[in-house]
Structure 1
Amino acid sequence: MKLAFFNEIEKAQNVLIVGAGGGFDIFSGLPLYFALRKAGKTVHLANLSFSRIDFCEGERPIPSLLKVTPGTSGPASYFPEVYLSQWLSNRFGETPIYAISQAGARPVQEAYNWLVQTLRPDTLILTDGGTDSLMRGDEASLGTPEEDMASLSAAHCVEGPERKLLVCLGFGIDFFHGICHAHFLENVAALIAEGGYLGTWSVTREMEEFGLYEEACEFVSARMPRQPSIVNSSIISAINGNFGDFHSTKRTAGSTLFINPLMGLYWSFRLENVARRNLYLNDIRDTVAYHELSLAIEKFRAMQQKTRLWTDIPC
């Protein structure tokens, strides 16, 4: 018996994996990247970037997109894409990562359009480190929605790929950002009911793909010691068997964490179903600057007369 996600992926030959939420989100797609490459598929990587790519020197096919290779220049203090490209290139041969500007939904859409028209993927996988990409707008909190929603909007609207999928890795991490995980589970249930859920599976420490993922994260963190990824550090801690208020980085000092085995689960969905259930994608679609994107989301939230009350998960 196969999960529906793997039935979909079996048909894929040319895959584009894109980090949805900025920063290190592309790393949450690395176990999939390694597995798909091992299966003989062509795989490309892109990421909505927190780096100031407008200050970088490199190939820029359109203003909102930078092709990052091992030699691309940029801010040494925060440029995870270039360090990941260096590690991947050392292991597998030159591997570019396309960095998308942190902007409003329209420039992000232009980047997706170029990527799909140029790379011609038959499958687009949007990957989220955490689970706040499933927040539809009426929850108690949306976490940090700007980048996720600009990416979701762009992936939903871009034409070309036969399959569009969304995967989330790191259940429980977004408690750090105020997400109610009962609302996440309620949203998953609604997606199950309408046929948009493709299954859940574990990444375990024995998997070769996990070892490569952990190695890549350690390589990049060593070069960005002040900015290690909280999300990926938490996922790796959980998969290695740590539990509870365990801190692997000083960045989380003073907060309470709940590292747990569910952080190692991939949750997978049909992207179109997630996008259709979102209540405010149309409100952000024409935003250009990042502050316009934030303002559009704030306006939407201010107009909501009622949001779902916070609910604790029974235990």
Structure 2
Amino acid sequence: MDLSTSPLFHRLADARHVLIAGAGGGFDVFSGLPLFFRLRELGKQVSLANLSFTRLEAVEGTVLAPGLMRVDAHTNGPEHYFPEGLLARWFLSRGEQVPVYCFERTGVVPLREAYEVLRERLGFDTVVLVDGGTDILMRGDEVGLGTPEEDLSSLAAVDALPLRDKLVVCLGFGVDFHHGVCHAHFLESVSALSQQGAYLGVTALLEGMPEVALYRDAVKDVCERMPRAPSIVSLSVVSALEGEYGDVHRTVRTKGSTLWINPLMSMYWAFDLTAVARRCLYLDSLRDTQTAWEVADRILSFRNQCQRIRPWKDIPV
């Protein structure tokens, strides 16, 4: 590598088939769309998956295995919340058939098994786990962990897969303040990973990039079709892409809160997944969980037994 090389794309240069998977549910898969479009332009085979907040029992998709469903543009699902199906329909409006593979919210064991089934079917050799926000880097002793249950279940499941490469990419610096995340602790995590050679730098998403324009169009289209539950994270990132700053609200869901829309929100922060997993203080305790309830209970138990919770720190600038 040198100054003219993106460490993230240098790492992906030899990948043949990349699975871009939303780590934390909801719209996390959307945060991977700019990467999806760029990798396709580079000639890679790319697939999309998401840990789903959609009630999959109400979806008429193709069940590939317990806890794994293939959703396409013609899949029927809940009217009020079905971002994966609406994303597939957005692709169809552009003349493309792009399925989204949905993982059920469950424990690490069945989630890992579902990932293994999908790997056998698709043959991907690389996973990029995408987090809308940055709380996936919290190791467990921070004052605020954000919403770790889904992120860390995905992290543990992918960490166990035998693959050529595994990466974590975060988008939306500052968004997790709403969930109590201290971003000074996030930056400490970045520094610690940098010491291990596991930090792959920051890649700016700019409004003039064609893949970013497609991402923004997909977010706006799906959020308009889901007026009762648009994505706070994705709309905040879009606001940052469009040059907004400060307490800017795109949805009534954020009414009464103070937002900090800022240019750092529209940047990819990339890391080696194995190193991120090794830093988590409680990840090993999640590896044999069977249900989402067990995951939440193990995290709560760790927090109750943690001898020192690092207090809030303001960024001194």
Normalising by structure 1, what TM-score? 0.98
| 1:129-166, Cα deviation, whole Å (9 max, x unpaired) | 0000000111111010000000000110012x201111
Q: Which residue of 2 aligns with 1:144?
A: 147
Aligned length: 314
Corresponding residue SS for 1:10: coil
CA distance in 1, matches of 2:291, 2:75: 25
CA distance in 2, matches of 1:17, 1:92: 21
What stretches of structure 1 move > 6 A for 4+ residues in a row? Answer: none
Cα RMSD of the aligned pairs, angstroms, is 0.9
Q: Which residue of 2 aligns with 1:117?
A: 120
The CA deviation at 1:208 is 0.7
* Structure 2: runs of 5 or more not aligned: none
CA distance in 1, matches of 2:94, 2:272: 31
Match of 1:226 among 225, 228, 231: 228
The CA deviation at 1:90 is 2.7
Match of 2:179 among 177, 180, 188: 177
Match of 1:28 among 22, 28, 31: 31
Q: Which residue of 1 aligns with 2:214?
A: 212
| 1:258-310, Cα deviation, whole Å (9 max, x unpaired) | 00000011000000000011111111111112111111110011000101111
The CA deviation at 1:3 is 2.4
| 1:10-59, Cα deviation, whole Å (9 max, x unpaired) | 11121100000001000000000011111111100000000010222221
Match of 1:15 among 11, 15, 18: 18
Q: Which residue of 1 aligns with 2:198?
A: 196
Match of 1:57 among 55, 60, 63: 60
Corresponding residue SS for 2:94: helix
* Structure 1: runs of 5 or more not aligned: none
Normalising by structure 2, what TM-score? 0.97
Q: Which residue of 1 aligns with 2:296?
A: 294
Q: Is the 8 A contact 1:101 1:107 kept in 2?
A: no
Identity across matched positions, percent: 52
CA distance in 2, matches of 1:136, 1:246: 30
Match of 2:281 among 279, 282, 304: 279
CA distance in 1, matches of 2:262, 2:74: 38
Match of 2:266 among 264, 267, 279: 264
Match of 2:169 among 142, 157, 167: 167
Q: Which residue of 2 aligns with 1:94?
A: 97
The CA deviation at 1:239 is 1.0
Q: Which residue of 2 aligns with 1:157?
A: 160
CA distance in 2, matches of 1:258, 1:187: 21
